[in-house]
Structure 1
Amino acid sequence: MSIHLLTGAGSGIGAVVAQRLLDRGDEVWLLARDAARAAELRGRYAGARTLVGDLADPAKLSWALGHQALPERLDSLLHIAGVVELGRIADTPVKVWNDTLAVNLVAPAELTRLLLPQLRLSRGTVVFVNSGAGLRADADWGSYAASKFGLRALADALRGEELEHGVRVTTVYPGRTATPMQQKVHQQEGQEYDPARWIAPESVATAVLTAVDLPRDAALTELTVRPGR
């Protein structure tokens, strides 16, 4: 049985990935921001285990995980959670920069650092669900794109550093995907939201699990997923 830990199981891509892993009989650990959220996730995903740690406060992740029983090994660590606030650079306050970078970049770096022993033991796979904004920064997307450009750098550096330990690192770059985050983006853009125009979260979940399930003689380093219509 494979063992996985993922963030972002509350909705969208993360919800689909979590359920698919459970449906096939794998052991699934879900990171929740607090105890109430952890209980909610356990109620939703039968058989899932939870850990409590707030991605918005990455400096406390070490303390939080240090007071909980962790999986002994990990076959995959899946970074799927993320936040977005659109706005022009001239109008973006420091709090938005700090909050965005904390959840989208610093917390994945810290969580990966803390769980590397378990990943090395299993020669596991780390998947960073990035964004098209991690490849191109458009107007009004400055803070989000900066966090995702940084996430790409994190993945590239980690891949080189962990090669000797057999840990594979994959970055997935989805285009616009029909998730609650995308609905929020449309509201911020003042645009009507039609989920049928965008990638289904199930399609991105398939890309994520393809990277996880690839035979050990190969690694998928980067996957770009774009709307097909």
Structure 2
Amino acid sequence: MTSTPVALITGASRGIGRAIADDLAATHHLLLGGRDRTALTELASSYPSAEPFVAELRDAGQVAAAVSGIDRLDVLIHSAGILRMGPVAELTDDAWRESFEVNLFAVAALTRALLPVLRAAGGQVVTINSGSGYTSGASSAIYSGTKFALRAFTDALREEERQHGVRVSSIHPGRVATDMQEELHAWEGKEYSAEAWIQPDQVAKAVRLAVDTTRESAIETLSIRPSGISLR
């Protein structure tokens, strides 16, 4: 393994995860998390130092196999996630289970598996949460529920890991111009204009700020909101 700092990014092939990979590529060896080995291998070839980290994060066996070869990790960035919306009266049990499995349980399991190498490196955990980790509204119970829970997880992890030298950052972007956002607008029946929303590279810059913060300090929580300023 290279002496360059190592960063594992889940959901690295698209949206915010891809933007984070683009930003960190100049300074880190990247472990690009996702399920499509072919796509991740192609993406890895575009960076100075990168390799795929292939696993279905809800599958304990796949996660165990994927982490078994990691002997150093400086930064673990949880960017993978799903968005489910709908009135409580219409949400199925399967929708609730899937959302919590991806947005919370998989995060907890992967973090737990990698804590030994993160502690050894004096590393960092960065979660990409959401503005929905602070507020909820109509049709957002399921998504906000997972993000509230993720915030509770990171708050607890931060306090537990101080003694082990691991810092924990929670990044809370508002609506970001990704394909997920386009799908959400379609579900809401609203016109989508990508330039009206936070750009993925701005979230990546927030992650960079957390990663570059020196050891005597930490970005614990950071909220990024759309300015509401018309760019037209």
TM over 0.5: yes
Measure, in 1, the Cα distance between the counterparts of 2:140 and 2:65: 32
Correspondence for 2:9:
6
User: 1:98, CA displacement in angstroms?
Assistant: 1.1
Correspondence for 1:77:
76
Correspondence for 1:63:
64
User: 1:68-109 CA distances to partner (integer Å, 9 max, x unpaired)?
Assistant: 522x21111001111101101110011111111111111111
In the alignment, residue 34 of structure 2 is paired with which amino acid? A
Is contact 2:85–2:139 with CA below 8 Å preserved after alignment?
Answer: yes
Deviates more, 1:97-106 or 1:29-38: 29-38
User: 1:58, CA displacement in angstroms?
Assistant: 4.2
Measure, in 2, the Cα distance between the counterparts of 1:63 and 1:5: 15
Task: Please give the residue correspondences for 1:1-229 in structure 2 after superposition, counting only pairs within 5 Å.
Answer: 1-22=4-25, 24-45=26-47, 47-55=49-57, 57-65=58-66, 68-70=68-70, 72-228=71-227, 229=229
Report the 3-state secondary structure (helix = DSSP H, G, I; strand = E; otherwise coil) of the residue aligned with 1:86: coil
Report the 3-state secondary structure (helix = DSSP H, G, I; strand = E; otherwise coil) of the residue aligned with 2:100: helix
Measure, in 2, the Cα distance between the counterparts of 1:8 and 1:35: 12
Measure, in 1, the Cα distance between the counterparts of 2:172 and 2:121: 25
The TM-score normalised by the length of structure 2 is 0.91
The TM-score normalised by the length of structure 1 is 0.93
Report the 3-state secondary structure (helix = DSSP H, G, I; strand = E; otherwise coil) of the residue aligned with 1:217: coil
Measure, in 1, the Cα distance between the counterparts of 2:131 and 2:93: 24
Report the 3-state secondary structure (helix = DSSP H, G, I; strand = E; otherwise coil) of the residue aligned with 2:82: coil
User: 1:16-64 CA distances to partner (integer Å, 9 max, x unpaired)?
Assistant: 1101211x24211111224344334334545311122112x24334433
Measure, in 2, the Cα distance between the counterparts of 1:227 and 1:131: 12
In the alignment, residue 12 of structure 1 is paired with which amino acid? G
Aligned residues: 225
Is contact 2:13–2:33 with CA below 8 Å preserved after alignment?
Answer: no
Structure 2's unaligned 5+ residue stretches are none
Measure, in 1, the Cα distance between the counterparts of 2:69 and 2:60: 19
User: 1:130-164 CA distances to partner (integer Å, 9 max, x unpaired)?
Assistant: 00111001110111111101100110110011010
Report the 3-state secondary structure (helix = DSSP H, G, I; strand = E; otherwise coil) of the residue aligned with 2:7: strand
Measure, in 1, the Cα distance between the counterparts of 2:93 and 2:220: 33
Structure 1's unaligned 5+ residue stretches are none
Task: State the identity %.
Answer: 42
Measure, in 2, the Cα distance between the counterparts of 1:10 and 1:83: 14
The structure-2 alpha-carbon separation of the partners of 1:148 and 1:61, relative to structure 1 and needing over 3 Å to count, comes to: farther
Is contact 2:41–2:51 with CA below 8 Å preserved after alignment?
Answer: no
Measure, in 2, the Cα distance between the counterparts of 1:198 and 1:223: 17
Is contact 1:9–1:30 with CA below 8 Å preserved after alignment?
Answer: yes
